[in-house]
Chain A
Amino acid sequence: MKTQSALEKVLAAGHLAVTSECGPPRGAMPEKIKEKAELLRGYVDAINVTDNQTAVVRMSSFAACLIIRQMGLNPVLQMVTRDRNRLAMQSDIIGAYAHGIDTMLCLTGDHPCFGDHPMAANVYDLDSIQFVQMVRTMRDEGRFQGGDEIQSPPKMFIGAAANPFGDPFELRVARLAKKVKAGADFIQTQCIYDLERFEKWMEGVRDRGLDEKVSILAGVTPFKSAGMAKYMKNKVPGMSVPDALIKRMSGVAKDKQAEEGITICVETMHRLKEMKGVRGFHIMAIEWEQKVPEIVERAGLYPRPSV
């Protein structure tokens, strides 16, 4: 074991892991994050906390992770390179680890143009691969990115993202290979709707044996409505939503669409469970955390193992 991370323990024991996420509130409202996290208690192994997602300012991921940690749950610190240079990132990683936050997800982050401060300077001192490399060097070599020794280095279980649906497709396996080479322990993928393309990506992953080197958690997001499905298809860059799913959502009465979205999500998870190389799930129920227990149960992933 490289770390004390509960997620690492679940994966090492050979279980399918389940993670979900909480978006922190846009104000000093600790009770909001507690409410969201409480909904997930017992149904997931770890809870990702997003870092100013879609470049919109929110309570910091570190602070919200700390609240979740104090509730006796396992947060996953998400961190983007958009807002912090390597000094700020490393000091936050040490600070988080000092508070028992031992799992993180290293991301580049959405461009500021999508958020509420499009006029902000973007940082991008590192890219996500260099970021993974830095966290691994801190853990395994006990050195800062700048080379100095760290006294009592933070031992983070290191996650990274993968988008099998981005272009150019032929580069997507190679990009995963780079993240693995850089030191990623686990991967959380972009939301999977297009199972055909995902399977094609997984084939490439397996051909290179990457699924043996990194734990791939398949990302899923339930549709709340046909409108959301269309939005995901047409407006979110690097997202692939098959027309059949749009049709299926649109073919259901409005008041039944949310239920249909959950059913699609659960069916997708059952198919993914059969796919070699999938080591677990990352359920991103955006502002819909209360549905996660149902999804986990219907996907046959409840109860969660104790490790």
Chain B
Amino acid sequence: MITAERKPIQEIMDYIRPFGRILLVGCNECVTVCAAGGRKEVGLLSSALQMAFMQEGKVLDVKEMTLERQCDPEYVEELAGTINQVDAVLSMACGCGVQEVARRFKEKPVFPAVNTKFMGASERQGVWAERCQGCGDCVLGLTGGVCPIARCSKRLLNGPCGGSSGGKCEINPEVECAWQLIWDRLKALGLEKRYEDIAPAKDWRASRDGGPRRIIREDLAS
């Protein structure tokens, strides 16, 4: 999923201070799962903002909505009926959702209420960790199902650097060494020999370095 964390309340307040009526929009997808911007967080932020502005002597009018998917024009359209009753939109979706709302309602200011963090998985209750960088050319089939691009601090493709120590990364003992994990998996799968194949220099065009990316499916495109 795409993970996110709510921005500090002060930063959010600074964005919306000039406005009296806002539409606070959550998303029912990833940000709900990582407890950053779903219906529940919309309710909590709405109350927090109204109380905080109250202390400044200002009454903030907040309308709350949570869309099924804020990155999807079909659902964003559901805001059309309410958008004219507000001065600005505060989105609790990931950056994709914020931009979709901004694209659809050109005349309305839209502000992010969360920082979009990474594509990751839940390690345990309340803990999420990065797993994928969307490089566009997946190498997991060669690395025992552990991604060296997302999980090695130096995105090394050919093995651990000299700083791998006791299974941990040199940058922080809380960070696991991706190459220790890869090596352990290759051994468990009896694929140790594969380690000595040199992974060639990566073609980063498939990643963000080739410019903003699109997928066009001819069979589906209208």
Contact = CB atoms under 8 A, between A and B. Distances in A.
Contact of A111 (B153, B158, B165, B179): B153
A166 B154 contact: no
A237 B155 CA distance: 18
B156 A237 contact: no
Interface in B182-222: 183, 195-196, 198-201, 204
Interface residues of B, number: 29
Contacts of A182: 198
Contacts of A171: 159-160, 179, 183, 195
B177 A167 contact: yes
B201 A238 contact: no
From B155, B164, B167, B199, residue with most partner A Cβ within 10 Å:
B164
A95 B183 CA distance: 38
Interface of B is mostly: loop
A167 B167 contact: yes
Contacts of A108: 154, 156, 161
Interface residues of A, number: 35
A250 interface: no
Interface of A: 82, 86, 108-111, 113-114, 122, 124-130, 133-134, 145, 161, 163, 165-168, 171, 174-175, 177-178, 181-182, 190, 237-238
Interface of B: 153-167, 170-172, 177, 179-180, 183, 195-196, 198-201, 204
28 contacts: A108-B154, A109-B154, A110-B163, A111-B154, A124-B154, A127-B155, A127-B156, A129-B158, A129-B198, A130-B158, A133-B198, A145-B201, A163-B162, A165-B162, A166-B163, A168-B167, A168-B183, A171-B195, A174-B159, A174-B196, A177-B196, A178-B196, A181-B196, A182-B198, A237-B170, A238-B161, A238-B162, A238-B163
